[in-house]
A and B are shown apart, each in its own frame.
Chain A
Amino acid sequence: MAKHASNSSSSDPATAPDSVLSPRYNQGLTPLHPPHENLLRTQMILRALILLILASVAETLIYMHHEMPAGLVLVPAAVIAFLTVAILPHRIYRRWGYDMGDAQLRVLRGYLWRTDTIVPFNRIQHIDVAQGPLQRFFGLSTLIVHTAGTHNSIVTLPGLATADAEEMRDTIKGHIRQDMI
């Protein structure tokens, strides 16, 4: 599975420059706002730091109590950390896509575990536009739509430019009708 993913990446720089995504990754849907990739990278860096701290603690503990070559834990952890920061954000980013249809919102995400959700506008109960501290730094917002369904009643679409998210909210708002169920 991982091999499959790496195949597609090796051909990636040749066929498509970074700014223009090849439609085959997200079926030609609207990509997220480009700064989202940096946001993902920042999140990955934070996670990688935590991983490295934990790894170095484990490394010291093992090194103190056992006869072991140095770097048994730290080196693999560093490799994983490097890979997650260097490679993953772009791969996650390019698999996201959304589409504002006339009457429905489509959200596509993931590759190995792919989910493709369609929410008809007139099924939406209420809408949030949320923004965390990191997102604010990058000028991004998350659009969250709530339906009455019990499965997947909250559909989130992160990585939208704040202005876009608010515009989408206003579009959807016009379709919400009261007491649908």
Chain B
Amino acid sequence: MNEAADTSPAQDSAPFRHLHPLSIILKSLSMIGRNIVAVAVLHFSLFDQNIAYTMLAALALVALVTGVTTLIWSRFTYQVTEREIRIKSGLLNRNNRSIPFDRIQDVSLEQKLPHRLLRLATVALETGSGGGEDGQLEALTRSDAEELRDTIRDYKAGRNVDSRRSIEEHATEEAPPLFAMDNRRIFIAGLFNFSFVLLAILGALAQNLDFLLPGDFFDPRNWFNALSNQKIIDGLSFWMRVAGVLGAIFSLIIVGFVSGIIRTFIREYGFRLDRVDSGQAGFRRRRGLFTLTDMVMPIHRVQAAIIQTGPVRQRYGWYHLKFKSLAGDASGETDHSAAPCATGPEIDTILGQCNISPPAEDVEFHPVNPALWWRRAILICFASAALAAVTASAVHPAFSTLLLLAIPVSFILFLNWRQHQYALSDGQLVVRSGWWRRRLTVLPLSKIQTVDVGQTPWDHPLDLATIIIGIAGGSAIAPLTIRAIGLDRASDLRRQLLSRTDSRPTSG
């Protein structure tokens, strides 16, 4: 399978190189940082706050970590030949990996804050074989890292090594970016990124630092005692209590917005998307406040475009453009974010750069069978009726109002059904889904890998089917699906979907 594995022995002459020595310090520091909590815990527990023992333990930790890291560093070498990169690693289990340039999907440079101060960068090579990065070179000098990326890119473009120009001199100075976000735009993106992660972080901090708090801080009985002793709440008037509750809700919402904005700033600061044409045409994305990432994704690897929005966001005309590519984005996202907060025309411009055309205004979308919502709504009604009946008879008659829950849920199901539509135009399949998290997937038919037509037991009486389309890349948990369409229509649609894959190969 790996036709590039038969590298000629002449290429083996390229030297084996180590990572930058400073990486030892960086890695040791991060490992010590992770273990310092353990030492602190020891200081308070086993060592009985004896500072001498603690210092000794800390010294031992530092020596151990530094020693091991140095050993690992000395055993980690890489070699860049003309057609592949080889990485030898491992202390006891030696691992010898070779990654042919042909198989590398995209190359990204990442600079965490300490790396930036020392002008180092981490190179991550993705081959799209699933399961994270396949080759990671931590801590090369920034120039080495860029050179490596350029070597790979030039190889893939089939160009001579001598004639290459650095991506830097080519792209950054000339040509305005394809898409960039200023601080105002990032702020807007943050507003829609409402999240309670800050609360979670505070909670986690409190958990980890609980040795600083009084011993029974987390014992709820203390709090109950404190509350009932005070009797303050009883003294308050009704409206004061309502105001208190409202205030609590309001402050929660504020926390949600603020943490969303902070998170967005940390991730998207200085967002800039360029088109690079030297070598293979590709998108280059740079972003990050503390951790700077610099990723280049070849345009022909783009499998599909996803345009996400929400009911409020769409009202104000903001969309999030993502690309499905064979390799997932770093930081656990399955799709490559190409424009986190862009207007419709801006998205059209970006899409115009790759071979995906935004769906035209007059494209007629086909709705799916309404059974999609009423089947589930009936189920929800029965479930909530059963729940209401049981709780009302067992606990309190007031619980029968649980039945009312079925109304909003059914309504949301109805709205979701109304959003779920598909269209076939221009050799592209366009699928729209979700009412709250609106997703518009644009998939060129030539990128389809497999098509499934599935039926579940409750599909048989209505003769409905679900179409699942296999695309290279993206998440395996949530593949592109068209739900609840008639079996005949499904077979028909499948024939049309596969018409492009039969006749000719894709643009390779």
Which residues from chain B contact A113 at a C-beta distance below 8 Å?
Answer: 454-457
| Number of B interface residues in the complex (CB < 8 A) | 37
Bound-state Cα–Cα, A7 to B450, Å: 33
Whether the pair B472, A152 counts as a contact (CB closer than 8 A) is no
Which residues from chain B contact A155 at a C-beta distance below 8 Å?
Answer: 450
Whether the pair B472, A181 counts as a contact (CB closer than 8 A) is yes
> Does A118 sit at the interface, judged by CB under 8 A?
yes
> Does B494 sit at the interface, judged by CB under 8 A?
yes
Contact among B1, B455, B471 for A150, CB-based, below 8 A: B471
Which range contains the number of A residues in contact with the other chain?
Answer: 20 to 34
Chain B binding surface, main DSSP class: mixed
Which residues from chain A contact B505 at a C-beta distance below 8 Å?
Answer: 122, 177, 180
Mark A91-126 against chain B: 1 for CB-CB distance below 8 A, else 0.
000000000001110000000111111111011011
Whether the pair B506, A180 counts as a contact (CB closer than 8 A) is yes
Bound-state Cα–Cα, A104 to B500, Å: 12
Whether the pair B475, A150 counts as a contact (CB closer than 8 A) is yes
Contact among B102, B470, B475 for A152, CB-based, below 8 A: B470
A150 with B454, Cβ < 8 A, contacts A104-B502, A179-B508 known: no
> Does B451 sit at the interface, judged by CB under 8 A?
yes
Whether the pair A120, B502 counts as a contact (CB closer than 8 A) is yes
> Does A19 sit at the interface, judged by CB under 8 A?
no
Contact among A102, A104, A150 for B470, CB-based, below 8 A: A150
Nearest CB in chain A to that of B479: its residue: A151
> Does A149 sit at the interface, judged by CB under 8 A?
yes
Which residues from chain B contact A114 at a C-beta distance below 8 Å?
Answer: 454-455
- B189: min CB distance to chain A, Å: 27
A116 with B454, Cβ < 8 A, contacts A103-B502, A181-B326 known: yes
Chain B 428-451 residues near chain A, CB threshold 8 A: 448-451
Which residues from chain A contact B128 at a C-beta distance below 8 Å?
Answer: 148, 181
Which residues from chain A contact B475 at a C-beta distance below 8 Å?
Answer: 150
> Does A147 sit at the interface, judged by CB under 8 A?
yes
Whether the pair A152, B460 counts as a contact (CB closer than 8 A) is no
Whether the pair B457, A118 counts as a contact (CB closer than 8 A) is no
Nearest CB in chain A to that of B467: its residue: A116
Bound-state Cα–Cα, A180 to B498, Å: 16
Whether the pair B473, A122 counts as a contact (CB closer than 8 A) is no
- B334: min CB distance to chain A, Å: 8
Which residues from chain B contact A104 at a C-beta distance below 8 Å?
Answer: 498, 501-502
Whether the pair A118, B471 counts as a contact (CB closer than 8 A) is no
> Does B301 sit at the interface, judged by CB under 8 A?
yes
> Does A65 sit at the interface, judged by CB under 8 A?
no
- A59: min CB distance to chain B, Å: 32
Contact among B301, B468, B494 for A151, CB-based, below 8 A: B468
Whether the pair A123, B449 counts as a contact (CB closer than 8 A) is yes
Whether the pair A126, B1 counts as a contact (CB closer than 8 A) is yes
Which residues from chain B contact A177 at a C-beta distance below 8 Å?
Answer: 505, 508
- B449: min CB distance to chain A, Å: 3
Bound-state Cα–Cα, A12 to B102, Å: 54
Nearest 4 A/B pairs, CB to CB: A149-B470, A151-B479, A149-B449, A148-B472
> What are 14 residue pairs bridging A and B, where the CB atoms are less than 8 Å apart in the complex?
A113-B457, A114-B454, A115-B454, A116-B454, A118-B494, A120-B501, A148-B128, A149-B450, A149-B470, A149-B472, A150-B473, A151-B470, A152-B468, A181-B472
A120-B450, A153-B476 known, 10 other contacts, Cβ within 8 Å: A102-B502, A112-B456, A125-B1, A148-B128, A148-B326, A149-B450, A150-B476, A152-B468, A180-B506, A181-B506
- The chain B residues found within 8 Å of chain A, CB to CB, are 1, 3, 102, 128, 130, 301, 303, 326, 448-457, 460, 468-476, 479-480, 494, 498, 501-502, 505-506, 508
